Structure 1
Amino acid sequence: MKKTFAIIPVSRFTHAKTRLSPTLTPLQRENLLKSMLKDVTNALRNLVENIVVISSDEDVLNYVKNLEVIPIKEEGSTDLNGALKQAIKWCSSQADQVLIIPSDVPLIRPEYVAEMLKLGEKNDMVIAPAKGGGTNAMLCPVNGMEMLFGDCSFFEHIKIAESKNLMVKVYDSFYMALDVNTAEDLGEIMLHGSGTEAQKFLSKEGLVVVPIHGKERLQIERREINP
């Protein structure tokens, strides 16, 4: 059986989900990211050998120490893919493959992780697309796979894998496809995230979903919370 480490890259708390600034305050955005981090680590725990969090933010690294993960300090000034290369290199002496999961996939569940790992027994790479064409999960060998996370990275990762003659399996899931960038994404958490830390946090903040008939399918409103 292949030995698997999970890698979660995390940006600075102060940079958390800036596109949500019309809906959430900076502190709320930070706490939302912390809640989603808990959801991701909870889904991974007991299914992989170790969970690694890489970040350049000391606040992030200190926070995740309580989540039973291995914190790794990102070295130098690099981008997401550079940070992932550092984390994969760290894992390569101890694992056969890595499962890369962004920190903002709150609808992830242990059964989805288990299914991806099972598919990985017969395939070199298993990849879950994001709804916008990005990559929301990728199981791949520790050697030989290029990191291309970003816009339309799902297609770029498949292209690279096929050029290296890797056997690729697509794990297509509505729930795994959600990464959180807009107010409408928050609505998806409220509708589909029963039991998640992210949904609990948003409910605590008084956010509710209001169906609308317009450009966006969902609208988020804030309700007064009784003390």
Structure 2
Amino acid sequence: MRPAVVIPVKSFTMAKGRLADTLTPRQREDLARTCAETVIRAAAPLPAYVVCSDDDVASWAVSVGAHVVHCTTPGLDVAVAAGRTAIAAEGFDHIIVAHADLPLAESLAHVAREGIVTMVTDRHNDGTNVLSFPLASSFTTAYGPGSLDNHIRAAEACGLAYETIEDASLSLDLDTADDLSELERRRKDNS
């Protein structure tokens, strides 16, 4: 199995819009960049491919050692499809898709399992923060509300076995003020 990590990354200046009532634009930009750097470090030793439409993000990705896949069409599923095509062309046979807003990410390689779909849930057991599947399969992503259930149905429709993984370091994504409070709580608990 030859996995690669695909990380869709929005423009840092536009990211984290749902936190506009809590953080300044500069704070949101810094948070988005810091989280994305954390996720890229967690990808190691696997190669990381950043999918983006923003030239500043592309330059940043190269500066931190990631490959860049340009995708100007909006949408998370479209970005993942672009990343999937790019890594398949490079000879990889398994994809790990990781959101760029996982501030506690430590490792991603353990998510890939030979021949099956694996999903790391968000802390609400609704979303899919990390997703892995074999490239040769007909599996397609289905991000959005209820993506965990969507991905389970997609795996079943393809006849693929699947596994849901609970991983505290990957379960927290930062979308709301409550998520920021949870991050602070976890950091205090670990200090």
Tell me, yes or no, if the aligned pair for 1:99 and 1:140 is still in contact at 8 Å.
yes
Tell me, yes or no, if the aligned pair for 2:5 and 2:96 is still in contact at 8 Å.
yes
Aligned: 1:115 with 2:110? yes
The TM-score with structure 2 as length reference comes to 0.90
CA distance in 2, matches of 1:15, 1:179: 17
* Cα drift, residue 188 of structure 1: 2.1
* Cα drift, residue 192 of structure 1: 2.2
Tell me, yes or no, if the aligned pair for 2:38 and 2:105 is still in contact at 8 Å.
yes
2:22 aligns with 23
Tell me, yes or no, if the aligned pair for 1:100 and 1:138 is still in contact at 8 Å.
yes
- 1:181-205: CA deviation from partner (whole Å, max 9, x where unpaired): 11221122223248xxxxxxxxxxx
2:79 aligns with 83
Report % sequence identity. 27
CA distance in 1, matches of 2:102, 2:177: 15
Tell me, yes or no, if the aligned pair for 1:106 and 1:193 is still in contact at 8 Å.
no
CA distance in 2, matches of 1:64, 1:192: 28
5 Å-filtered alignment, 1:123-138, equals 123-132=115-124, 133-138=126-131
**One-letter amino acid matched to 1:26:** P
CA distance in 2, matches of 1:62, 1:115: 28
CA distance in 1, matches of 2:85, 2:34: 28
Aligned: 1:99 with 2:96? yes
Is the partner of 1:128 in helix, strand or coil?
strand
CA distance in 2, matches of 1:70, 1:54: 9
**One-letter amino acid matched to 1:91:** I
- 1:31-50: CA deviation from partner (whole Å, max 9, x where unpaired): 1011001111111111x2x1
Aligned: 1:152 with 2:146? yes
5 Å-filtered alignment, 1:8-19, equals 8-19=7-18
What RMSD over aligned residues (CA atoms) do the two structures have, in Å? 1.5
Structure 1's unaligned 5+ residue stretches are 195-227
The TM-score with structure 1 as length reference comes to 0.77
Is the partner of 2:101 in helix, strand or coil?
coil
Find the structure with the greater CA-based Rg.
1
How many aligned positions are there? 185
* Cα drift, residue 27 of structure 1: 1.1
Is the partner of 1:100 in helix, strand or coil?
strand
Tell me, yes or no, if the aligned pair for 2:95 and 2:134 is still in contact at 8 Å.
yes
Tell me, yes or no, if the aligned pair for 2:129 and 2:171 is still in contact at 8 Å.
yes
Is the partner of 1:176 in helix, strand or coil?
helix
Q: CA 1:18–1:42 in 2, change beyond 3 Å: closer, same or farther?
A: same
- 1:6-29: CA deviation from partner (whole Å, max 9, x where unpaired): 000011222210111112111110
CA distance in 1, matches of 2:18, 2:111: 30
Tell me, yes or no, if the aligned pair for 1:91 and 1:142 is still in contact at 8 Å.
no
